[in-house]
Amino acid sequence: MALTRPGDREDAVEIMAQRGMPVERSAVVARLFVLPAARGRGVGGELMRTVAVAASDLSLIPILEVLAKDRAALRLYEDRGWEPIGETTHRHGSRSYSAVALRGPSAGGGSEW
């Protein structure tokens, strides 16, 4: 798992900017995966809690993209208070996938901007 400053081509950041959200406070969550054998054991929830706390400690708002086909992951994020902010296209090499951009809780745990 990685929490990084956004790059120039982050679609989730573009969505934040279009909606007037504070892009300068965003942090991109990358490489958050749970092995299939470990799913259903709370590992994903604990990783999400860890990234939310780390972002909050830095006064940042975590954002990420989840493939639209990954319904279980989307439910997990939404159940933990992550908010869908728009639809986007995730690109990996020459392939494109439908994705959903989400933002996590802002620093302090509220939904204020």
Measured distance CA(111)–CA(43) in Å, rounded: 24
Rounded-to-integer distance, Cα 99 and Cα 107, Å? 25
Q: Which residue has the higher pLDDT, 9 or 26?
A: 26
The amino acid at 68: A
Q: Are strands 26-30 and 61-67 parallel, antiparallel or unpaired?
A: parallel
- Where is mean pLDDT largest: 71-80, 84-93, 95-104? 95-104
Residue 33 structure tokens? 């995966």
Q: Are 44 and 95 in contact (CB under 8 A)?
A: no
The stretch 43-51 carries a mean pLDDT of 84
Whole-prediction pTM: 0.77
Select from 101, 79, 94 the least CA-distant residue to 14: 101
Place of tokens 């940042």: 60
**Mean pLDDT within 73-97:** 89
88 vs 113, higher pLDDT:
88
- 28 backbone dihedrals φ, ψ, rounded to 5°: -85, 130
Amino acid (one-letter) located at 78: E
